[in-house]
Chains A and B, each alone.
Chain A
Amino acid sequence: MRAPLGHCYWAVAPLAPAPPFRIYQEGAEARDVAAVEPFTEAVRKGMSEFVLLTPVKTRPVLVITGVLPEHEEVLALRLRRLGKLATDAARDLVREGKDQVLFYLRPERFAGLPVENAVIVTSLLRLSVSAIDRGTSLGSLNENELRMVHERVARAHELKLDVMIVEKARRLLESAQGGVAKPSGRRPRK
């Protein structure tokens, strides 16, 4: 697997901002704003950018895309330690691949992770590559596993891929057949 795609790294990952929003103020205590509406009101007054104090956590993440060269960003997923699951039965379901959201990371391929983990396929993050410590890979998926994670992410977020797949299948069929055969010239009327 070509890094960082499919690899696990330590990263500084933000948590999604949610109320109360803590706004940084120069030379003063942070100000709490309880809801989103005051921000939209501020836009009407021509002010839309603020510095928010957002919690971040240094954590291992699984990178599931290549780097977009124009943007230097990737999509990644959070991990869940199997030790945090409530029961042995739940852990076994994850190990057997029967939990559709918690995708098991096989310890033999993730030697950099000290304990067993699963990827949470609903926890999509967009990260700058500069927020990822790419010096050491903690392990990586194989092609097939990455394909399964992609499929589950698409299903979890109900991505509409049907038209794209049908169109691609149609183009492949046409190219395999050398284009659609069409009659030439006028046909005699029956």
Chain B
Amino acid sequence: MSVHFTRVVRHSCYGVDVPLTARNVNGNEVRVPDPVPGEATVISRYGKERAIVLHPADFNRLSELEQLVTEAVTLEPIELSEEAIRAHVEEGTPGEPVTDPAVLAELFG
């Protein structure tokens, strides 16, 4: 059972942003049911889920899907053209404000 997996970020009811990493354990040190592709073996104790055993192929598939979704929803940075930068700066810079009391009185009474 010495399989290496890449690190992915897990989003689930067990907590958001929990990184999912693989811990390697020698198959001689533990007793686990033989994993079958397409089947998740839920190990429970006192009515609570303790662990889930997956076939490595399923785990890989889940990890790849998770990475795919995470990459798909990560927003691409926007491209700033020179015109866009100039527009932002100029439209956010004060011009010549009207301060003449006579003009202001005429405008607003």
Residue positions of A touching B, CB distance < 8 A: 15-16, 55, 57, 78-80, 84-86, 90, 93-94, 99-102, 118, 120-123, 151-152, 154-156, 158-159, 161-163, 165-167, 169-170, 182-183, 186-187, 189-190
Closest A residue, CB atoms, query B16? A163
Which residue, A101, A123, A170, has most C-beta atoms of chain B within 10 A?
A101
Closest B residue, CB atoms, query A151? B75
Contact partners of A86 in chain B: CB under 8 A: 83, 86
Contact partners of B83 in chain A: CB under 8 A: 85-86, 90, 93-94, 99, 102
- Give the interface SS of chain A, mostly helix, strand, loop or mixed: mixed
How many B residues have CB within 8 A of the partner chain? 32
Which residue, B76, B88, B93, has most C-beta atoms of chain A within 10 A?
B88
Contact of B81 among A99, A151, A165 (CB under 8 A): A99
| 24 A–B pairs (Cβ distance < 8 Å), ordered by A | A15-B93, A16-B92, A55-B97, A57-B95, A80-B91, A86-B86, A90-B81, A90-B83, A100-B78, A100-B79, A101-B81, A101-B87, A102-B84, A120-B87, A121-B78, A122-B80, A122-B88, A123-B91, A123-B92, A161-B73, A163-B16, A166-B69, A170-B12, A190-B33
